[in-house]
């Protein structure tokens, strides 16, 4: 399934969420995996939209879902600034909550929600590929 | 996302239903600020009907958890749904911000 996300169109996140639910239903993705997938996608889109672009024009983000051998693959391609979240340092979870930095939580949640991530910069495009095993 | 409120002079309970995504986090922040302005000594954010909790929502909870704690007051999450609890657990804030049974 492919989804084109318009950054300046109201209701796009809800439309994507429904598309994800439809895909999950059609492919019989167990419900217990859905929250992690939903979370990773939401956090990544938020990062792209919040930090990726130098202007408020409408930008397109392409999202492609596929499943092979019970592994879900989500490829998210955007034309924002280069951003390799794999190079982003992990927050130190041993620091008490009172003193811990509040930033960087979204990237941490993506990394912890998915089983594997791969990043590529091709020309002016970022592609983050996220993999989630759909078995225990 | 919808927020229902149970208010007593000193305690405000916010019952959050639906997706706490970026827009939901903004809405939650406004409600928490209202409770603080109204003089609440305790704010309880009931997440039993929250179907999703993203990092923006956690940032709001954490920010006001700290602010209330520094003011000798408290803000706590109560009865989180499985989805909300998983998100709090992922970020390591569950033990701090969750009301102890």
Find the mean pLDDT for residues A88-101: 85
Which residue, among B94, B84, B97, B92, has the nearest Cα to B20 in the 3D structure? B84
| Class of residue A19 by CB neighbours under 10 A (exposed 0-12, middle 13-18, buried 19+) | middle
B-chain CB neighbours of A17 within 8 Å are 19
Position A48 scores a pLDDT of: 96
Residues 6 or more apart in contact with residue B25 via CB below 8 angstroms: B54, B56, B57, B59, B60
Q: What digits encode the pLDDT tens for the residues B84-94? A: 999 999 998 88
First to last CA, chain A: 24
Find the mean pLDDT for residues A10-35: 94
Distance from CA of B54 to the nearest CA of A (A): 6
Residues 6 or more apart in contact with residue B89 via CB below 8 angstroms: none
Position A101 scores a pLDDT of: 81
Distance from CA of A122 to the nearest CA of B (A): 28
Chain B positions with Cβ closer than 8 Å to A: 19, 21-22, 52, 54-56, 58-59, 62-63, 65-66, 69, 82-83, 86-87, 90-93, 96-97
CB-nearest partner of A42 from B54, B63, B69:
B54
Find the mean pLDDT for residues A74-88: 95
Q: Is A38 on the interface with B (CB under 8 A)?
A: yes
Q: What digits encode the pLDDT tens for the residues B11-67? A: 999 999 999 998 899 999 999 999 999 999 999 999 999 999 999 999 999 999 999
Q: Are the CB atoms for B98 and B86 separated by under 8 Å?
A: no
DSSP string, B22-82: HHHHHHHHHHHHHHHHTT-SEEEEEEEEEEEE-HHHHHHHHHHHHHHHHTT-EEEEES--H
Instruction: Give the integer Cα–Cα distance in Å for B52 and B47.
Output: 9
């Amino acid at each position: 399934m492919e989804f084109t996300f318009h950054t300046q169109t109201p209701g796009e996140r809800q439309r994507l969420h429904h598309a994800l639910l439809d895909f999950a239903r059609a492919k019989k993705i167990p419900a217990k995996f859905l929250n992690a997938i939903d979370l990773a996608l939401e956090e990544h889109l938020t990062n792209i939209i919040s930090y990726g672009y130098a202007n408020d024009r409408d930008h397109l983000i392409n999202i492609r879902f596929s499943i092979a051998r019970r592994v879900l693959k989500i490829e998210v391609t955007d034309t924002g600034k280069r951003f390799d979240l794999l190079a982003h340092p992990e927050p130190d979870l041993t620091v008490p909550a009172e003193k811990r930095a509040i930033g960087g939580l979204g990237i941490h949640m993506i990394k912890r929600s998915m089983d594997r991530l791969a990043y590529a910069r091709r020309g002016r495009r970022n592609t983050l590929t996220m993999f989630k095993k759909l078995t225990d | 996302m919808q927020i229902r409120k149970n208010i007593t002079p000193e305690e405000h309970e916010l019952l959050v239903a639906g997706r706490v995504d970026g827009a939901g986090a903004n809405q939650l922040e406004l409600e928490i600020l209202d409770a603080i302005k109204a003089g609440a000594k305790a704010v309880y954010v009931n997440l039993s009907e929250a179907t999703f909790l993203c990092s923006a929502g956690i940032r709001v909870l954490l920010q006001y958890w700290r602010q209330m704690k520094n003011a000798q007051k408290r803000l706590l999450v109560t009865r989180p749904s499985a989805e909300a609890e998983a998100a709090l657990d992922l970020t390591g804030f569950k033990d701090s911000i969750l009301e102890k049974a």
